[in-house]
Amino acid sequence: MKKNIGMLLIVALLVIAVATYTKQQMAKDRELEINESLLGKAMDLNYKQTGLRKGDTPPDFTLTTVDGEEVTLSDYKGKKVILNFWASWCPPCKAEMPHMQKYYEKKAKEQNFEILAVNLTSEEKGDRLVEKFLQSYGITFPVPMDEDGSLAKTYQVITIPSTFILNTDGQIEHSIIGPMNEDLLETYVEGIN
Amino acid sequence: MNITAIYSIGKMSFPSPWLALVLTFILTGIILRSQFSKTASAQYSDFVLTFILVWKFSVILTDFKMVLQQPLTILYFNGGKLGVVLASLAVFVQAYRKRATFSFAASAWAIALTQSGYQIIMVLVNDNAQWIELTTLFISSIALLMVVRKPTIATLQGFMGLHFIIALLQPVALTQQLSWLLTIVATLAVVKWQKELK
């Protein structure tokens, strides 16, 4: 009898897999129906929003970068955006920076994305620190400064590094906590439109 | 599969393939344990351990400069895709040295369960075009059942062929699909070792 235990397990697991998949698809169809039967955005009121979720358009902002230029999030529609929140006292944020820079240099044009690395300036000990850090790492993407910490609050960024990946329509596709290397960044960015 | 799901535990996010792979490893281990000897599942878990350790610490090789600058890089990152290749190499070396102790049936089951299991779980956790998901689910299941029902060289080669079809359908380039490339290498190796024994 022992011979068949593994086989039975496999068949049982396959049945579970198919059932799960069918259930998922049915749930998705139902959601679509509901969305179609209600008028567009009115639907949003029915969801209890806790933080930013997939498919949300995050609040727009205009900030000044370390280089003194103004950036507005909505200007980047048509491009994918990697919206990163960081501070120079945070070791994983620092570790992530060179990876973002490398990926930016190699693939930003080809894969149509921009990196906005929002610095939590209100939590920094001095402006020079950020500038020095960026110089020593040769960072070339825009680093907007969240001087009063209000943007981090709006985006409910608690742990850093936090990263939002937005699609070309400016909607959130992924929210990620923790540092990412080049490979992971590319995997996430390539998988969206 | 395009990766559409990211999970979080505490202060860390991880992509769906990690979850899929961990689940696959656990389920395969359990099934091997219930169908074959303790040795088979012990060997399998040895390979899994080698794979994970080499993948994680290969960042020392793949990002040597950064590790020197910031030793903590080892903690935060892994070897990425190159790390997966290096980890697989390590597993193959380990497997080569133990090839005489393998049961062909258990090896065939291990390969089939790992590859089909991974593909099926990836379908369940990610959100891709429905026709791609359905064909991946269907062909992976058929291929798996084919091998476990009759683990022979012929069915294992058939398995490889079926997964080639799945790989062709994916929205990701063939050369980027490590799971498929590794399945070929593993299958060819196991088939060759089996023929040597005869």
- Dump pLDDT digits (tens) for A30-59: 877 766 665 544 444 444 445 677 888 889
Tell me the count of A-B CB pairs closer than 8 A.
Answer: 94
List per-block mean pLDDT (blocks of 10 residues) for chain B, which spans 198 residues: 81 87 95 91 95 93 83 85 93 92 92 95 91 94 94 94 93 86 93 86
Q: Per the structure block, which two tokens stand in for B53?
A: 């350790």
Q: Which residues contact B97 (CB under 8 A, 6 or more apart)?
A: none
By the CB < 8 Å criterion, does B77 face chain A? yes
With beta carbons less than 8 A apart as the criterion, state whether A102 and A182 touch.
Answer: yes
Residues of A with CB under 8 A from a CB of B: 2-3, 5-7, 9-11, 13-14, 17-18, 20-21, 24-25, 91-92, 94-96, 98-99, 159, 173-179, 181-184, 187-188, 190-192
Express as a percent the part of chain A with pLDDT over 90: 36
Helices (H), A49-138: 91-107, 127-137
CATH fold of A62-190 reads Glutaredoxin (3.40.30)
Q: What is the mean pLDDT of chain A?
A: 85
ipTM of this complex > 0.85? no
Read off the pLDDT of residues A132-145 as tens digits, 9 standing for 90 and up.
888 888 999 999 99
With beta carbons less than 8 A apart as the criterion, state whether B123 and B170 touch.
Answer: no
Domain boundaries, chain A: 2-46, 62-190
**Phi and psi of A180, rounded to 5°?**
-125, 145
Whether the predicted pLDDT of A129 surpasses 80 = yes
Give chain A as a 3 state SS string. CHHHHHHHHHHHHHHHHHHHHHHHHHHHHHHHHHHHHCCHHHHHHHCCCCCCCCCCCCCCCEEEECCCCEEEHHHHCCCEEEEEEECCCCHHHHHHHHHHHHHHHHHCCCCCEEEEEEECHHHCCCHHHHHHHHHHHCCCCCCEECCCCHHHHHCCCCCCCEEEEECCCCCEEEEEECCCCHHHHHHHHHCCC
